Structure 1
Amino acid sequence: MTEQQLPSAIRAFVDSTNLGDSDGFVAAFAPDAYLKDMSREFHGRDGVASWNKTDNIGRQERFEVLSVRAGDAPDEYVVSVAVSGNGYNGPADFAFQLSGGLISRFVIS
């Protein structure tokens, strides 16, 4: 799978981050989404919006997709990225679970 083959919700996640589009970013997630950033957990779109404000678009983060692979379960993907901005800078693996075309689970490792 290549970057061009990213599922639409994951593409929206990357593109909206890079464009600074918070509404588009949050809209890529299911209403009951789960987000885990190392040891911190966030729930629902309000939690996603909170994390986005403090750790993502709020820090002018940018993602460059390095690789994409299917996970072990259906609709599961692991995306390796290079992160830059005013927060964390460096490589990261993002694990996504999709449901109904939206991100239902997002875990950073």
Structure 2
Amino acid sequence: MELDLAGAELKSVLNRLRRAQGQISGVIRMIEEGRDCEEVVTQLAAASRALDRAGFAIIATGLQQCLTDVEGGIRDGEDRDAMRARLEKLFLSLA
């Protein structure tokens, strides 16, 4: 299944990923500067949430596309149960 993110959805996901990228860079800088542990962990948690939200947005879009185009979401030789299991595994990878 190819990911086809429409304009607003794509922009939102990319913004979340860029925010996480900036937060991770900030965490690295904070550690190099010897900043307070609580501040570092707070920023690290924020980066983790941003990545999780981007992942969930991508999965939600993929699931929506599968629901509207079930045949398009099935790989060659794969039945619906196998597709469901594959999507469930993907979803749980972020849970």
TM-score relative to the length of structure 2 = 0.29
Higher strand share: 1
Higher helix share: 2
TM-score relative to the length of structure 1 = 0.27
